[in-house]
């Protein structure tokens, strides 16, 4: 399975100490150079910085099709643009991306995508985590990840954690 990730899933899962879920689910995750740079910028230290530099299952690749990247830059930041362009080049099975605009564009290119919450749902369904709610709460409280209340409740319904709603 070929999986390409944008910055957000790596950063947010690292912030709550659950980056290992990506390896469990996908074995190898490929990131474009722009995502690597975003995560390792010394002026903006961020969760996931050390991991993308040291974990061999996170692989950095160059995007060859700069024309697609530049076309996508009118709507997306460089990390999202390169992630989508690289996913197209590699004929990726999935793109890990959270931003709505990036998902809409990925959909236009017929790319399958999921974000942090989809990763947590999949991790629970495969038995890698016991519950999604504490991790969503950690994303909100530790990583500053915004989840709309209706989406939060919907994820709890999908994962049969409705009783966990406070």
Q: Where are the domains of the chain?
A: 3-116, 128-164
For residue 110, is it left (φ>0), alpha (ψ between -120 and 50) or beta?
left
| CATH code for residues 3-116 | 3.40.50.1010
Asked if 81 and 34 touch (Cβ cutoff 8 Å), the reply is: yes
Q: What's the pTM value of the predicted model, to 2 decimals?
A: 0.93
Task: Tell me how far apart the alpha carbons of residues 20 and 128 are, in angstroms, rounded to a whole number.
Answer: 10
Asked if 53 and 37 touch (Cβ cutoff 8 Å), the reply is: no
CA proximity to 8, closest of 92, 94, 80: 80
pLDDT tens, position by position, for the chain (166 residues)? Answer: 999 999 999 999 999 999 999 999 999 999 999 999 999 998 888 899 999 999 999 999 999 999 999 999 999 999 999 999 999 999 999 999 999 999 999 999 999 999 999 999 999 999 999 999 999 999 999 999 999 999 999 999 999 998 644 4
């Amino acid at each position: 399975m070929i999986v390409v990730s944008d910055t957000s899933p790596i950063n947010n899962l690292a912030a709550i100490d659950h980056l290992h879920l990506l390896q469990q689910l996908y074995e190898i995750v490929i990131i474009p150079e722009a995502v690597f740079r975003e995560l390792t910028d010394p002026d903006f230290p961020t969760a996931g910085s050390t991991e993308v530099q040291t974990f061999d299952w996170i692989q950095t690749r160059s995007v060859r099709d700069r024309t697609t990247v530049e076309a996508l830059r009118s709507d997306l930041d460089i990390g999202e643009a390169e992630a989508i362009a690289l996913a197209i080049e590699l004929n990726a099975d999935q793109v890990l991306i959270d931003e709505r605009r990036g998902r809409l564009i990925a959909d236009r290119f017929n790319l399958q995508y999921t974000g942090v919450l989809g990763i947590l749902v999949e991790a629970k369904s495969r038995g890698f985590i016991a519950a999604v709610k504490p991790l969503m709460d950690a994303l909100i409280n530790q990583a500053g990840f915004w989840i709309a209340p209706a989406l939060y409740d919907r994820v709890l319904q999908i994962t049969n954690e409705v009783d966990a709603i406070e």
